[in-house]
Chain A
Amino acid sequence: MKRLWPFALLVVLGALLFWGLRRGDPSALPSVLVGKPAPDFTLPAFAPYRAEWGERIQLSRYLGQKPILVNLWASWCVPCRDEAPMLEAAWRQYKNRLLILGVNVQDTNPGAALGFIQEFGLTFPSGIDENGRVWIDYGGYGVPETFLIGKDGKVLYRHAGPLDPATLQELLGKVL
């Protein structure tokens, strides 16, 4: 039996590494916010939204009324380009039952971000998170990230990475 332990160790190490290979994205970092109240933020709104939403967008003003989908994006982020039209379509469809809030994270400049908004004709409001403080408050580790906040003001779900139509539908299904 004494001679078997190196082999046992090898099997354990091999199994561990094999599991490591199969577990999917190694950089995935589960959110610690799920089940907790969504951190509040107040951000300057992009020019197109100021008329309707005011100079500054404050999350707590909308909490408790409707479920909220907070989407963190940036103009330099490639997958965000796939996501934007989907979010816009969802917004148009469920406007009265759901609020979609965009948070523009550490963008190279507001001009680029505005260009992105115009390119995709985004009508849901977005605020400017110049420094990325909101990003850090939400435990972000990439862009895009999407947070689903329930009617009770608690974070229900965080999706890291680009949304695909099925995931978006699933997310919306949880609150609609």
Chain B
Amino acid sequence: MTPGLLGGFSLVAALLFSVIGLGLCFFAYFQRDGRYLEAAKRTSGLALLAALAAFGALEWALLTDDFSVQYVALHHSSTSPLWVKLVTPWAALEGSILLWATLQTLYTWIVSWRVHTRGLPGGKNGLDPYRAPIALGVLFTVQVFFFAVMVFLAHPFNAVIPPPTEGPGPNPLLQNHWMMAVHPVLMYLGFVGFSVPFAYAVAAMITRRYQSWVHETRWWTMIAWGFLTAGKMAGAWWSYEVLGWGGYWAWDPVENASFLPWLLATAFLHTSMVQERRGLLRSWNFSLVILTFVATFFMTFLTRSGVIQSVHAFGEGPVGPVFLAFLLSVAFVSFYLLSRVSSEVKDVGEVRLLSREGALLGGAILFTVLTFVVLVGTVWPLVVEALNGAKVSVGAPFFNQMAAPFGVFMLLLMGIGPVLPWRQSKPQVIRNLLILLAVLLIGTLASLIWGWTLGVSLAVGLFLYNLAAVGLMVDQGVRERARSLGISAARALADLAVTNKRRFGSHIVHVGVALGCLAIAFSQAYRVEAQKTLYIGETWKKVGLEVRLLDLRQVQEPNRIATIAVVDVRGTSRQGLWAEGQYRPRLNVYPVMNQPLPSPSVKYTLGNDYYFILQQFGQDERGLWATVRVIVTPLVLWLWVAGMIMVLGTLYILWPSGLRAPAKAPGGATA
């Protein structure tokens, strides 16, 4: 048995099991027989096992340096460190599809366990034998697509004859930081997760049960959203640490494309509450879930087709047209299903502007408009080229200008929304709104007087405003509970934190978002960056720092040659004292890439981040020189903290007791 053989067999087996599972779902649906569904559940387990075997086979091939497997021969090197070998499966096209497909089988399998084969009256999983086969069938269809792509188009286990003795190793960018082990997996867990709400939505449209699916898939949407948020944060951090330009978000086409499902899912998380609570916005929610799922495929399509130039692209593969065809068919079929029932999902009811649902809908509109803008900006160069053959670029300066006002409106709504009651505004709410408005104004004005730019001042004001909003709501909830039950405030707070996880968790996530926006505003506005060539022993005074080049060393590592500048930094201002210490920025040269990759040396502090990059080096008559670029950016650390808060908030909502809580208290989002 060789890894290639095991992998090839497992892939075919996984494809077969997926096809069988799909067939069983068909039978279960048309025969209305739970036994077929029972069998389909088992099949999903077998498909998972087969996928895991295929994935394991790829790891096996990589760990044993089996260069007879083409994927290994093209993207692996026996000199790579162990962790690089372990993450190589998602360093290139074929392996990444395998990872995606494996995660899809995992999700399908978990879903199959939450599916009940008997109709349960209002059961906690609420799925009947008539809807469950459709949901499972949709997931099996997605699985069939991925495994068919691998078996017929992008086979990870193609053989190379004769096998080479050594390979080039994965893309050096991916070897530069351990975060690469985490970021893609988290992203994929998020993307794949959106297939579950989509599957339930399709089932809902076919069986004409328009309400319960929102509730059933809320948990899944949260999970996928949480993974995607974590994945994007990990990606931002990776780009900050690796790409060597001191930024965390570049508005690259693939970044944009992966932003689309996140934005749409965020919109859905908010408007689904309106449906849960009031039964409104049903076709809107269907559309959002469909678009979220389609957007994940749009993302993979862009990454894997080479249609648009991007640093993330795997290059033009043979899979582009197939992904496009699948994505379009999914969209066509789902919108057809929706249009078929559109007369039945018409809403009956009123949404007032100044109400919870009004604010939630407003937020959702913001998110969808931003989705639209990002999509248009991303594909516009293609449109222009198609129309008149000219080449244009739409990049960061454009998107930053678009995102800033969006951020302001979002933060405004985020503060107001949870304060407003459902249906219509009550008089006592006005007091709260006035308090919030005062906080916003005072915060912004004080920051302006302090000397910050208008954008930053607004961000500060909005941050305080959001903190105040959360504070007000927690305070009110606690007081009411303490009064009505006659318990202490601390006890009431603890009670609320346990019983109303959704509400509390959303506060946590919102605080994270506000903090993140603050960090982004500061780091964008007050970033200082300069560059100087230093000879050994030379000192450079800049941005409150005294930078001295102590030494320049060269190290031969198994997979690269590294040149390391040893830089000593002293602070000349009070703030600069934080930066003191030794920095060792490196320039790594990988044999496969004739362009050196800088590996920056960063010191995180609560205020500024100090970021040193070795840009160039050489030797002339005056001796060894190194060109050092220093970037001082405020509050970047808080962006990572904000990301963690957002993920922790999501986890808090999802924490097991939260699983049952919504079933007991459907209106969990009320204060």
Residues of A within 8 A of B (CB): 3, 6-7, 10, 13-14, 16-21, 23, 26-27, 29-30, 76, 108
Among residues 372 to 418 in chain B, which have CB atoms less than 8 Å away from a CB atom of chain A?
379, 382-383, 385-386, 389, 391
Evaluate contact between A21 and B305: CB separation under 8 angstroms: yes
Q: How far is the CB of B303 from chain A (nearest CB, A)?
A: 13
Residue ID in chain A nearest B390 by CB atoms: A30
CA distance A30 to B335 in the complex (A): 39
Chain A residue at minimal CB-CB distance from B310 = A26
Interface residue from A6, A17, A76 paired with B301 (Cβ < 8 Å): A17
Given contacts A6-B335, A10-B331, contact A26 B307 (CB under 8 A): yes
* Cβ contacts under 8 Å, A17 to chain B: 301, 305, 307, 324, 379, 382
The answer to whether B607 has its CB under 8 Å from any CB of chain A is: no
The distance in angstroms between the C-alpha atoms of A7 and B309, with both chains bound, is 27
Q: Chain B contacts of A108 at CB under 8 A?
A: 594
Task: Tell whether, in the assembled complex, residue A27 and residue B309 are in contact, meaning their CB atoms are under 8 Å apart.
Answer: yes
Shortest CB-to-CB span from A30 to chain B, Å, is: 7
Q: Which residues of B contact A (CB under 8 A)?
A: 287, 301, 305-309, 320-321, 324, 328, 331-332, 335, 339, 342, 379, 382-383, 385-386, 389, 391, 594
Question: Chain A residues with Cβ under 8 A from B328's Cβ?
Answer: 10, 14
Which residue of B has the minimal Cβ distance to A77? B594
Q: Which residues of B contact A21 (CB under 8 A)?
A: 305, 307, 320-321, 324
Please measure, in the bound complex, the distance between the C-alpha atom of A10 and the C-alpha atom of B594, giving whole angstroms.
42
Q: A151 vs B382: C-alpha distance in the bound complex, in angstroms?
A: 36
With A20-B307, A23-B385, A26-B307 as contacts: A7 and B321 at CB distance below 8 Å:
no
- A20 CB to nearest B CB, Å: 4
Name the residue on A nearest B308 (C-beta).
A26
A28 to B342, CA, bound (A): 45
Is the Cβ of B332 less than 8 Å from the Cβ of A7? Answer: yes
With a cutoff of 8 Å between Cβ atoms, the chain A residues found around residue B342 in the complex are: 3
Further contacts, 10 of them, CB under 8 A, given A10-B332, A17-B301: A3-B342, A6-B287, A16-B379, A17-B324, A18-B321, A18-B324, A20-B305, A21-B324, A30-B389, A108-B594
Which of A6, A7, A20, A76 has the most chain B CB atoms closer than 10 A to its own CB?
A: A20
A108 to B594 alpha-carbon distance, docked (Å): 9
| CB pair B335 A26 closer than 8 Å | no
Knowing A3-B342, A21-B305, A21-B324, the reply to whether A16 touches B332 (Cβ < 8 A) is no
Neighbouring B residues of A7 by C-beta, 8 Å: 332, 335
Tell me if A's interface is mostly helix, strand, loop or mixed: helix
Can you name 5 A-B pairs with beta carbons within 8 Å? A14-B324, A16-B383, A17-B324, A17-B379, A18-B324
Q: In whole angstroms, what is the CA distance A14 to B331 when docked?
A: 10
Which of B287, B309, B383 lies in contact with A26, CB distance below 8 A? Answer: B309
Question: Are the CB atoms of B335 and A20 closer together than 8 Å?
Answer: no
Closest to B385 in A: A23
A21 to nearest B CB, angstroms? Answer: 5
**In the complex, which residues of chain A have a beta carbon less than 8 angstroms from the beta carbon of B389?**
30
CA distance A7 to B337 in the complex (A): 12
Interface centre among B307, B308, B331 (most CB of A within 10 A): B307
B328 closest partner in A (C-beta):
A14
Judging by beta carbons under 8 Å apart, are B594 and A76 in contact? yes
- Cα distance A132–B235 when bound, in Å? 33
What is the bound-complex CA distance between A23 and B328, given in angstroms? 19
Complex alpha-carbon distance, A134 and B391, angstroms: 22
Q: How far apart are the CA atoms of A21 and B304 in the complex, in Å?
A: 11
Complex CA gap A23/B332 in Å reads 24
A5 to B543, CA, bound (A): 55
Which chain B positions have C-beta within 8 A of A13? 379
How far, in angstroms, from A108 to B335 measured CA to CA in the complex? 56
In the complex, the answer to whether A20 meets B382 with C-beta atoms within 8 Å is yes
Do B339 and A3 have beta carbons less than 8 Å apart? yes
**6 residue pairs, one from A and one from B, having the closest CB atoms:** A20-B307, A3-B339, A14-B328, A6-B335, A20-B382, A21-B320
Least Cβ distance of A107 to chain B in Å? 11
- Residues on A with C-beta less than 8 A from B339 are 3, 6
How far, in angstroms, from A19 to B382 measured CA to CA in the complex? 9
Q: Who on chain A is nearest to B342 by CB? A: A3
Q: Which residues of A contact B324 (CB under 8 A)?
A: 14, 17-18, 21
A10:B335 contact, CB within 8 angstroms: yes
Nearest opposing residue in chain B for A21, CB measure: B320
List B contacts of A3 (CB < 8 A): 339, 342
In the complex formed, the residue of B with least CB distance to A29 is B391
Inter-chain contacts of B287 with A (CB < 8 A): 6
Complex CA–CA separation, A128 to B233 (angstroms)? 45
The residue on B at minimum CB distance from A14 is: B328
Within the complex, the shortest CB–CB distance from B302 to chain A, in Å, comes to 9
| CB of A7 to closest CB in B, whole Å | 6
Known: A7-B332, A16-B382, A17-B324. A26 touches B594 (CB 8 A): no
A14 to B305, CA, bound (A): 14
CB-based contact A20/B594 at 8 Å: no
In the docked arrangement, what's the CA distance between A20 and B301, Å? Answer: 12
